Amino acid sequence: KQNVEDLGGSVAVSSEAGRGTRVRIKLPLTLAVVDGQIVQVGHQVYVLPLAAIVESVRPLPGSVLTIEGAGELVMVGETTLPLLRLGRLFGVEPRSENPTAGLVVIVEHEERQTALLVDGLLGQQQVVIKSLETHFRKVEAIA
């Protein structure tokens, strides 16, 4: 309860015999606004949370490896990372299939890093996050 209140929200608990307990958590709308990096793949744009981005780099020739049964990996400096091509993931035609023509955005979640291949960076913007899970199916590899 204290954590929610520290964020400017509130928690209300009500119980009714024979009917159960109701817990209502209210959070301010401003919590749904995040700073984002706008990226482009083909003619589509996507927003990545700025807080999750470690760095953005252009992959070097020969730095992308394909491992049978494991997908693609990219070498960034001394680190090998799994590579996800956002175009393939979302069924969007990228400007080029050549990874060195695009950019790799390295994101981190729960101490694990992944490289996302995009065509380019378009800028930064604050965006409002709204849950779409009731309207759309779960997309593999996206949380």
Q: How does pLDDT run across 41-65, given as a tens digit for each residue?
A: 999 999 999 999 999 999 999 999 9
The answer to whether residue 141 scores a pLDDT higher than 60 is: no
pTM of the model: 0.70
pLDDT in tens, 74-130: 999 999 999 999 999 999 999 999 999 999 999 999 899 999 999 999 999 988 775
Cβ within 8 Å of residue 143, ≥6 positions away: 109
| Residue whose C-alpha is closest to residue 47's, from 130, 140, 111 | 130
CB contact set of 46 (below 8 Å; sequence gap of 6+): 38, 39, 40, 86, 90, 118
Is residue 142 domain-resident?
no
Q: How many domains does the chain have?
A: 2
The range of the structural domain enclosing residue 99 comes to 32-128
Residues 23 and 47 in one domain: no
Same domain as 94, residue 59: yes
Domain-embedded: residue 138 = no
In the chain, pLDDT over 70 holds for what percent of residues? 85
User: Are 23 and 80 found together in one domain?
Assistant: no
Same domain (yes/no): 81, 27: no
- Per-residue model confidence (pLDDT) at position 74: 96
Answer with the residue of higher pLDDT: 14 or 143. Answer: 14
